[in-house]
Amino acid sequence: MPQRLTVAVSQSHTLPTTSATLAALASTTQEAARQGVDLLLFPEAYLGGYPRTCNFGAAVGSRSGEGREQFLQYFHSAVDLGDTPRGAGHAWVERKLDVAEGKEHRGDGTREVLERVAAETGVFLVVGIVEKAGGSLYCAAVYVCPRKGCLGKRRKVMPTGSERIVWAQGSPSTLKAVTTTIKGVKLTLAAAICWENYMPLLRYALYSQNVNLYLAPTADARDTWLPLMRTAAYESRAFVLSANQCVRRKHLPSWIRNSGSEKAGSSSGSNLIPKSEEASVNDKAKEPQEVKISALDHGDLPKTPEPTPIDKAHGIVSPSPLHIGSTASDMGSRTNSPVKQRKDRRRSSNLMPMPNNHFLALPSDSAVNEAENKSGAEPKSPADDGDDELLCRGGSCIISPTGEVLQGPLWDVEDGGMLIARDIDFEDCERGRLDLDVAGSYSRNDAFELRVAGLDLDPPP
């Protein structure tokens, strides 16, 4: 039986509100489904946001009041998946935790929206999230199956650099791989988030579980990232998917852009030095509210049309930027037109053929401008030229089990660029084990041993 699937990564950036970002995620996933994508990866901190350039008023021995206000704003933008600070593991997955009186579920409804999007589109989702539990924030990645809902959730065990100011350390038990079967293909998948990929023992913990799909949501846009992804693929003999955001200064939340504490650089991924600003934070913190996405919350996600034979064999349509920042009810009123392989500014995307029958769809400039207007971005004035400063170039990619670059790296595409690798053969993972199985025949496990607290390293059944 053929062991082939179509996988994709979305180079999407966080929008001003959680509702807008969830609506954009739904639109992207609908478009992926129309193109026959089986599994889709979103970047690190896509929901909740990556606070690039912000130092939260922290220095050795002191924290400022302005920084505390920024943390309050960031805490309110994070999502609540209904988990505990320690991480409830299977009890969270199986919904066995107590629910507050008068509530239908734990958390703010984000989990339920993600599960509904996956179920309605048939696409397996892996989404980078900033999760709040108790009084702390965690950088996480959640695995969402179309049939069973959330199968598991990773929490980053070692935030990088200044990330440690605002992100707590996750439990290493969350490194547990999850399994699923899609179209008869058994997948064992796990995620290493951003610079966790520079931790050799952490990578080996995933290799030991015999993963054949290695996921790397990231915020790192350095030139060193692609060689690292190729190394992880070659070592693991697994397909590697990596998704990053492409971010300009204008995409940062106002509590960062208007702050005097914005400083050069970020903890991982920014290789550009932003300018310091003197303004102070003026926005007042808003009370956290439960996520509501109109039609999404009522089970009315627009149905995804079947791809045509031409779509299946020769092209993709990117998630239309016209959808970004709109409500789910707005999305239901739009239709998708066929995209020709030519540059056409009147259409929502431009199609670019790539090697090996893979394709990349890019949004048109006019669609990007409309998307920014609909997402709440303020009209651009000549004085705002600095807002276009590129802080993170992206660099999303898809790598084969032998280290071959199948797609990407995708640079400087910020609004919904989606890389799709069609009909990848998961039996290539076993073919690669002929000469290298780093957790088996090539491990010398009689001489070397790795133990991880709270984690069974044996491959899951």
With the C-alpha atoms ordered 187, 192, 193, 198, is the resulting torsion angle positive or negative?
Answer: negative
Tokens of 99: 């629910």
With the C-alpha atoms ordered 295, 286, 371, 244, is the resulting torsion angle positive or negative?
Answer: negative
DSSP 30-93: HHHHHTT-SEEE--TTTBT---TTB-TTEETTEE-HHHHHHHHHHHHHSB--S--SS--THHHH
> Rounded distance, CA 150 to CA 31, Å?
21
The set of residues, in sequence order, having a beta carbon less than 8 Å from that of 339 and lying 6+ positions away, is: 315, 317, 347, 348, 349, 351, 361
Contact between residue 91 and residue 102 where contact means Cβ atoms under 8 Å apart: no
Strands 185-191 and 213-217, how do they pair?
A: parallel
Tokens of 341: 């392989």
What amino acid occupies position 303? K
Cα angle value 147/243/315 (rounded, 5°): 75
Active site residue ranges:
44, 156, 194
- Total number of residues shown for the chain: 461
Distances in Å between the alpha carbon of 315 and those of 49, 119, 217, 304?
Answer: 31, 24, 25, 17
| Helical ranges in 352-404 per DSSP H | 365-374
Cα angle value 232/235/238 (rounded, 5°): 70
Distances in Å between the alpha carbon of 119 and those of 145, 162, 297?
Answer: 8, 37, 13
Contact between residue 63 and residue 29 where contact means Cβ atoms under 8 Å apart: no
Dihedral, CA of residue 156, residue 162, residue 167 and residue 168, to nearest 10: 80
Cα angle value 444/449/450 (rounded, 5°): 130
DSSP code at position 164: H
